[in-house]
A = this chain, B = another copy of it.
């Protein structure tokens, strides 16, 4: 019997811009805030079917750190101004709620406050 939680159309990707330095000057070898955010998220326990993917620049450089959620026949959402120290648990909570939807639309009252105020863009699913 198939495990419905892991059904492919419902798998979710949390994209994290690992190049983000949040507008700061940084030495070449310094760990960037975006990389720190990715590392922090990777250390958390993720629900089945949700994976965290590093991306070399989501090009929202004036409002970093930035993450995006996508997967299956869902709207893709991009969120800005994420704090790599304070926000990983909040991002995971939001990603888990997104993962539970069929269309990517988390009911407004269930959205993390950060998602309500820091949505940069959303992209509709491809037509079936």
| Interfacial residues, chain A to chain B (CB-CB below 8 A) | 15, 55, 57-60, 66, 68, 70, 76-78, 119-124
Copies of this chain present in the complex amount to: 2
Secondary structure of the A contact surface, majority rule: strand
Give A74 Cβ to nearest chain B Cβ, in Å. 12
Q: Which residues of B contact A119 (CB under 8 A)?
A: 59-60
How many Å lie between the Cα of A70 and that of B123 in the bound state? 10
How many Å lie between the Cα of A14 and that of B57 in the bound state? 22
8 Å CB contact of A58 from B58, B68, B121: B121
8 Å CB contact of A122 from B59, B122, B124: B59
Q: Which residues of B contact A77 (CB under 8 A)?
A: 59
How many Å lie between the Cα of A123 and that of B78 in the bound state? 9
